[in-house]
Structures are given as C-alpha cells and as structure tokens.
C-alpha cells in the first residue's frame, strides 16, 4: 500500500515508517518540521535501504495535501501531525485547536477530494476520564482535562460522525498509552525540543548528563511505591500496531477504536531503576510535590487490539530503557540540524 504519513518526520511516525517499509508498504512522509528535523530521513534510509519521499508541507494546506495524495496515488493515510505538549496547550489553546482540529478537517477535505477512504488517527489515553478503575477499556468513560486532550477527543468525535455518515469510509483511532524507547539500532529515537516534559526522555537526559537529576512528581500516590504508574509501550511495538491497524482497516468500512498499550502499570521508581541498570549507574533524583493534573495510575486493557488486530506488545521495560539509552548515548543532542 502507498500511505500518506502526516507528521512523518516525528518520533512515532518515523518508527512507523520503518515498520511500513519492512512490511513492503510505501510511506510518503509529510511534515512541516515544527517539532522534527529532516535528518531522520537518512536514518530511515540507512535502516531500510529505501528512501521514502519526504514532503515539506503543512497538513492545513488542503490543496497541497490533496495534490500529494493524487500524485503519489495513496490508498490510506496515517495522521500523526499534531502539537502534543499538555502544558503548552493550556498556555496556547488556540494554537492547539488550530493545528490539531483544523489540521484534521483539512486532511479530511483533501482525502474526500482525492477519493482516499482509509484513515488511521493518533489518539491518546488522555481521552479517558481519570476517575475509573484500571485497566482502561475502549468503552470506558471519556473525558479529558487539557486543551490538548480535548483536541484528541474532538477529533475522535468528528471522525466517528464522518464515518457514520459515509459507509464507504474506514476510520481507526489508536489510543496510545505512554510511548517510549527507540529503534534498537540506536539511530532513531525521541528528540524533544527544550527540557522534556515526559518521564523517559527526561531520565535519558539525566543519564547522559544534560540534566542534573530527575524530579519525581510525588511519592504519596496509592501505588506500589507511592509514585505514579503508567503503561509504557516500546515505540517499535507501537509502530507495528499501526501496520496491523492498517491491514485490518483496509476494505473494512466503519469506525474502529483500539488501545495500544501493554496492559502493565510501571511506577516512576521502577522506570528509574530499569534505566539505571541500562546505563550502568545510579541516577540522581529528588522527590518534589505532585504535578498538577497527574493521575495516580493509568494502564490499558489491550485485549481488543489483541483479538481483533492480532497485535500485542512484546518488548519489555528493560528493552525500552536499553534502546532509549543506546539512542541517547549515541546522539546526546538528538538529530543534527
């Protein structure tokens, strides 16, 4: 299949591109590089011996996207392009609504005008309401507290409505839990701008000496050791989940929703310990007050993806940390400009 991948130079999309190429698909990557660098293309080529097309384009440019879909004869789209920092979304909600909602509407218009009917969308566990027992199932209570989270939930609602109105469309939402790790080669990984908000890239930067110590946000949660628990999933497992979702979607009209997680909760201290083992030294940390908006625990029920897509995450926490460390230590400043 030829697949347009929006946000194609980003962290999850670049790993997905490798999985697609490995399975004989032809991704066409589209990115405006607001949170990524074109250098990732060399890394994809080195791993796969194929150099996919990379278009510098904003997903909100409907005409250009429609042209790209036609010129490259795409049969499906995976829509990763979005802004994703929760804190920033509180400061700049309009930028988030404009990029994430308008971006999706523009993409849908481009797909309609070029006759592309299959879409896989990057959603998030953040669409689930915090007050419910774990693990989270796809039919769990929805509700989210940040503008970023609302853009994901709004897009899901838009896609469900559009797919309900046109029975020829196949739309899939993938609700990612906490993607971490890197390609096992150490040549591709997460390259956040500025100080990372998320745990694993922060720990990786402590390990490589870019940051002095981890601040553990609270150790008084009702969890195994008092620190927050999350469902960390290796980015390569997540990438393979997209290939499975695409295979399932092809020729199967309707609205489909899947959790992509491991089904296992891991605490902040457990991540820190695993990363210390991976990098071979104790990593400094201090416990500070809880981060506002954080929940005690969040993990997936992954059975729907397992039974319907035939996909399940297989990589361990040790592999997530070892691969993240290989990437971070070989590329301490991320991708070159």
CB hemisphere CA count around 129 (13 angstroms):
8
* CB nearer ligand NAD, residue 42 or residue 165: 42
Interatomic CA distance for residues 135 and 264, integer angstroms = 9
By CB under 6 A, tell whether 121 contacts ligand UD1: no
Q: Rule CB under 6 A: say whether 228 interacts with ligand UD1.
A: yes
Q: Which does 293 bind (CB under 5 to 8 A by kind): ligand NAD, ligand UD1, none?
A: ligand UD1
**Total residues found in the chain within this entry:** 337
- Written as six digits, the tokens of 10 are 């980003």
217 vs 253 by CB, closer to ligand UD1: 217
* Residue 148 appears among annotated catalytic residues: yes
**215 three-state secondary structure:** strand
Choose, by CB under 6 A, the member of 13, 21, 69, 309 that binds ligand NAD.
13
228 contact choice in ligand UD1, ligand NAD, none (CB below 5 to 8 Å, kind-dependent): ligand UD1
Selected catalytic residue, list 96, 148, 232, 335: 148
- Site for ligand NAD contains 265 (CB under 6 A): no
In Å, the largest CA–CA distance within the chain is 56
- Grouping H, G, I as helix, E, B as strand and the rest as coil, residue 334 is coil
Binding mask 128-147 for ligand UD1 (x = CB under 6 A): --------------------
Site string for ligand UD1, 184-223 (x = CB under 6 A): -------------xxx--x-----------xxxx------
What gap in Å lies between CA 271 and CA 64, rounded to an integer?
A: 43
Structure tokens at 37: 């660098």
**126/262 with CB nearer ligand UD1:** 126
Compute the distance between CA of residue 194 and CA of residue 201 in angstroms, rounded to an integer: 11
Choose from ligand UD1, ligand NAD, none: what does 294 bind? Cβ within 5-8 Å by kind. Answer: ligand UD1
Residue 151 binds which of ligand NAD, ligand UD1, none (CB < 5-8 A, kind-dependent)? none
Distance CA 168, CA 254 (A): 8
CB 234 within 8 A of CB 319: yes
Please tell me whether residue 270 adopts helix, strand or coil conformation: helix
Which DSSP string do the residues of 261-286 spell out, in sequence order? S-S--EEHHHHHHHHHHHHTSPPPEE
Task: Please give the residue ranges that form the binding site for ligand NAD (CB under 6 A).
Answer: 6-7, 9-13, 31-36, 58-60, 80-82, 84, 99, 103, 122, 124, 176, 179
For the annotated catalytic residues, the residue numbers are: 148
């Amino acid at each position: 299949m030829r697949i347009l991948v929006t946000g194609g130079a980003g962290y999850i999309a670049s790993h997905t591109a490798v999985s697609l190429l490995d399975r004989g698909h032809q991704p066409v990557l589209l990115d405006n590089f607001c949170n990524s660098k074109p250098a990732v293309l060399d890394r994809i080529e080195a791993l796969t011996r194929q150099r996919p097309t990379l278009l510098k384009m904003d997903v909100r440019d409907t005409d250009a996207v429609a042209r790209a879909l036609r010129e490259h004869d795409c049969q499906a789209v995976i829509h990763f392009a979005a802004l994703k920092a929760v804190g920033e979304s509180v400061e700049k909600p309009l930028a988030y609504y404009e990029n994430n909602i308008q971006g999706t509407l523009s993409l849908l218009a481009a797909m309609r005008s070029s006759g592309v009917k299959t879409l896989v969308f990057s959603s998030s566990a953040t669409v689930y309401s915090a007050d419910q027992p774990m693990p989270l199932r796809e039919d769990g209570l929805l509700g989210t507290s940040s503008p970023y989270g609302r853009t994901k939930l709004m897009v899901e609602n838009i896609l469900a409505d559009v797919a309900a109105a046109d029975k020829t469309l196949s739309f899939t939402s993938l609700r990612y839990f906490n993607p971490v790790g890197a390609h096992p080669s150490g040549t591709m990984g997460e390259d956040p701008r500025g100080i990372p908000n998320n745990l694993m890239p922060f720990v990786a930067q402590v390990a490589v000496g870019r940051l002095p110590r981890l601040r553990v946000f609270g150790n008084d949660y009702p969890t195994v050791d008092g620190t927050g628990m999350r469902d960390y999933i290796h980015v390569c497992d997540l990438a393979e989940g997209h290939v499975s979702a695409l295979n399932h979607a092809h020729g199967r009209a309707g609205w489909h929703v899947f959790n992509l997680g491991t089904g296992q909760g891991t605490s902040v201290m457990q991540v820190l310990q695993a990363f210390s083992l991976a990098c071979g030294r104790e990593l400094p940390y201090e416990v500070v007050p809880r981060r506002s908006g954080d929940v005690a625990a969040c993990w997936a029920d992954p059975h729907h993806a397992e039974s319907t897509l035939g996909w399940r995450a297989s990589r361990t926490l040790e592999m997530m940390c070892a691969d993240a460390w290989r990437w971070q230590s070989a590329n301490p400043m991320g991708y070159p400009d």
